[in-house]
């Protein structure tokens, strides 16, 4: 799942991009953060990482082209994709080694193609050896063994004696211990309830929610699925901190 930073001074434009990214599937994308200007984007990237930055060009203060020059100097810069209503900056954009240049309004199919470019670029940089070492969960399903990349997993939920492994497109059943998985993958997953771990990168929002068993409380919504996952009171502060970035 690609980690995305959206940089645009218009809240409506950021919201539309977030919605489109939620509909992308191959590869899927997770919006790690939004920035309303170049300064916010640089500040966030000094503390976090993204695979791709979707950058508007015309913004108050430093424009998107200036921001791109700044990002190129970072130790691990994201791929640069410009998203703008103005087509006349395309030459300058590609001189800055932008991976793509999208004009508003952005279509889902066009955005999906761009993300595929980003993914190919990442795979090329990592090389075949790194790709082969990608972490996977080994799932035994009806006499068949399947390798599910950990980056596709949105949550892990204990159900009776088994664990449900949920990706955007499918659910699997895994025989194992939720506590052991939490310890092994604690940098990528966090506990939100005694029976559930969620992928940190996939958290979309925290919402008020009524659960038939738990009662009134809070639940998280993840990118790519409609299902809400209840958050225990004990874990609520940690989830809020994660969303705040």
If we measure between CA atoms, which residue out of 45, 39, 49, 44 comes closest to residue 9?
A: 39
Given 130, 157, 176, the domain boundary residue is 130
Residue 132 has pLDDT above 70, yes or no: no
Mean of pLDDT values over 100-104: 94
Same-domain check for residues 152 and 190: yes
If we measure between CA atoms, which residue out of 124, 126, 117 comes closest to residue 52?
A: 117
200 in Cβ contact with 242 (< 8 Å): yes
Given 81, 99, 130, the domain boundary residue is 130
Same-domain check for residues 11 and 121: yes
Supply the pLDDT for residue 127: 58
Residue 133 has pLDDT above 50, yes or no: no
Same-domain check for residues 173 and 118: no
Percentage above 90 pLDDT, the chain: 66
Same-domain check for residues 21 and 59: yes
List b or e across 147-160, with b for residues whose CB sees 16 or more CB atoms inside 10 angstroms: ebebbbbbbbbbee
Supply the pLDDT for residue 118: 93
**What distance in Å separates the CA atoms of residue 245 and residue 239, rounded to the nearest whole number?**
10
More confident: 136 or 20 = 20
Q: How many domains does the chain have?
A: 2
Same-domain check for residues 104 and 209: no
Same-domain check for residues 126 and 150: no
Same-domain check for residues 115 and 175: no
Q: What is the pLDDT of residues 66-87, one digit of tens each?
A: 999 999 888 889 999 999 998 8
Same-domain check for residues 115 and 225: no
What stretch of H or E contains 243? helix 233-244
Supply the pLDDT for residue 182: 93
Supply the pLDDT for residue 191: 96
3-state secondary structure of 75: coil
pLDDT band at 95, cuts 50/70/90?
confident
Supply the pLDDT for residue 233: 93
pLDDT band at 130, cuts 50/70/90?
very low
Same-domain check for residues 120 and 201: no
Given 95, 130, 165, the domain boundary residue is 130
Mean of pLDDT values over 185-199: 94
Helices then strands, counting H and E runs in the chain, come out as 7, 15
Supply the pLDDT for residue 129: 45
- 14 CB burial (10 A radius; 0-12, 13-18, 19+): buried
Same-domain check for residues 121 and 152: no
More confident: 133 or 153 = 153
Average pLDDT value for the chain: 90
Domain range enclosing 75:
2-130
- The CATH number that applies at residue 145 is 2.40.50.1020
């Amino acid at each position: 799942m690609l980690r995305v930073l959206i940089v645009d001074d218009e809240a409506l434009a950021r919201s539309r991009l977030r919605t489109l990214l939620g509909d992308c599937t191959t590869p899927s994308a997770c919006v790690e953060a939004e920035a309303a200007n170049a300064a916010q984007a640089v500040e966030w990237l000094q503390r976090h990482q993204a695979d791709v930055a979707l950058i508007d060009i015309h913004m108050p203060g430093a424009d998107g082209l200036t921001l791109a020059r700044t990002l190129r100097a970072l130790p691990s810069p994201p791929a640069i994709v410009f998203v703008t209503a103005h087509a006349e900056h395309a030459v300058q954009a590609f001189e800055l080694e932008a991976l793509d240049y999208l004009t508003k309004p952005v279509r889902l199919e066009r955005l999906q193609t761009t993300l595929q470019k980003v993914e190919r670029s990442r795979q090329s940089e990592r090389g075949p050896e790194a790709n082969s070492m990608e972490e996977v969960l080994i799932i035994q399903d009806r006499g068949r063994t399947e390798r599910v990349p950990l980056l596709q997993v949105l949550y892990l939920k204990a159900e009776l004696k088994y664990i449900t492994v949920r990706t955007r497109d499918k659910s699997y059943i895994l025989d194992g211990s939720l506590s052991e998985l939490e310890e092994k993958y604690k940098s990528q997953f966090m506990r939100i309830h005694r029976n559930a771990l969620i992928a940190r990168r996939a958290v979309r929002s925290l919402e008020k929610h009524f659960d038939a068993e738990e009662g009134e409380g809070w639940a998280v919504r993840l990118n790519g699925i409609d299902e809400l996952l209840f958050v225990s009171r004990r874990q609520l502060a940690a989830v809020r901190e994660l969303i705040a970035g």
